């Protein structure tokens, strides 16, 4: 079935446009991509995302003009599959690529199993810890919301259990070196859901991580965060993960991810990360405490 090509202008909502195009099967054209910029056209991380789409689909066609300011995308069939791998662009974290994969993978022909390599934690995109402790639990809740409503509900409940995200190696800016594994099951249908009542925060959990810096850094992060949060809530527990050696990636860095659980079972997350060589020193730990203060309790 042929569709009329949808036309857009500008680089905004790049992933969302490609995501909706792939799910709906409608071809799109994007013009005037950063035409007024000093460096016009697609960025390297956007080109990397297009290559990723080619790996998980069959029959998609991508046409880019010489200047990179115009793109035509004709989506293919979402195939999924196992044993896939992708080297992500180091200018964006793996979270930039994982977010659309979580949606596309659900509607593939086969369950998706893919290994992503690059930067796992930075201050721009959702970090690997944010995805593991907040994004995936919310997605599991969405899948389970239709459980018990027939065969599709039972299938969605099983799919929620099969959803998996594992951090193999951490990787900080600028050199990366991180690796994550993502497994996304397939579903037959998705029930409607309504999450509007956040509820009141009853407990906070978190993880303070570091790579290629003294392990005392994570302890200082925990002490600083608890010093703020315990004034408002008693049930606060923050794990530490000081990584060294081959699993620590190629660049130093550290950060803090906090997840608050409400009495309605909802999750509210906040994170802060410092990376990039000289900026990732123990003297900058105090800045992370401002990150933990972003929670609205």
Q: Which one has a higher pLDDT value, 172 or 156? A: 172
Q: Per-residue pLDDT tens for 222-270?
A: 999 999 999 989 999 999 999 988 899 999 999 999 999 999 889 999 9
| 122 has a pLDDT exceeding 90 | yes
Share of the chain above pLDDT 70, in %: 88
CB distance 222 to 240 below 8 Å: yes
Q: What is the pLDDT of residue 124?
A: 93
- pTM exceeds cut of 0.85: yes
| 294 has a pLDDT exceeding 50 | no
Q: Per-residue pLDDT tens for 173-229?
A: 999 999 999 999 999 888 777 888 888 999 999 999 999 999 999 999 999 999 999
Give the orientation angle of helix 95-104 with respect to helix 44-56, to 10 degrees. Answer: 30
Torsion of CA 169, 170, 175, 181, to 10 degrees: 50
> What number is the average pLDDT over the span 118-134?
95
Q: What is the mean pLDDT of the chain?
A: 88
What is the token pair recorded at 265? 């079972």
Q: What is the pLDDT of residue 194?
A: 80
Q: Is 56 helix (H, G, I), strand (E, B) or coil?
A: helix
């Amino acid at each position: 079935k042929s569709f009329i090509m949808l036309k857009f202008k500008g680089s905004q909502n790049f992933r969302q446009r490609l995501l909706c195009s792939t799910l709906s099967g409608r071809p799109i054209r994007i013009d005037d991509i950063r035409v007024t910029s000093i460096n016009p056209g697609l960025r390297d991380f956007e080109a990397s995302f297009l290559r990723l789409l080619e790996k998980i689909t069959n029959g998609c066609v991508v046409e880019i003009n010489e200047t990179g300011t115009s793109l035509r995308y004709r989506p293919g069939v979402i195939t999924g599959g196992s044993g896939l791998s992708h080297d992500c662009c180091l200018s964006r974290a793996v979270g930039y690529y994982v977010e659309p994969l979580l949606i596309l993978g659900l509607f593939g022909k086969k369950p998706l199993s893919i290994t992503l390599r690059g930067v796992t934690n930075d201050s721009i995109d959702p970090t690997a810890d944010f995805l593991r402790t907040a994004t995936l639990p919310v997605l599991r809740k969405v899948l389970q919301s239709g459980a018990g409503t027939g065969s599709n509900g039972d299938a969605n409940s099983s799919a929620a259990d099969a959803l998996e995200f594992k951090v193999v190696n951490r990787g900080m800016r600028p050199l990366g070196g991180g690796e994550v594994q993502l497994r996304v099951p397939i579903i037959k249908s998705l029930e409607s859901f309504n999450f509007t009542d956040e509820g009141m925060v009853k407990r906070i959990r978190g993880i303070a991580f570091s790579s290629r810096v003294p392990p005392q850094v994570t302890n200082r992060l925990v002490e600083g965060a608890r010093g703020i949060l315990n004034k408002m809530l008693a049930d606060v527990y923050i794990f530490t993960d000081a990584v060294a050696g081959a699993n620590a990636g190629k660049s130093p860095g550290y950060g803090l991810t906090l997840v608050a659980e409400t009495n309605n079972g909802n999750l509210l997350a906040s994170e802060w990360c410092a990376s990039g060589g000289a900026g990732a020193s123990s003297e900058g730990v105090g800045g992370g405490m401002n990150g933990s203060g972003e929670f609205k309790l």
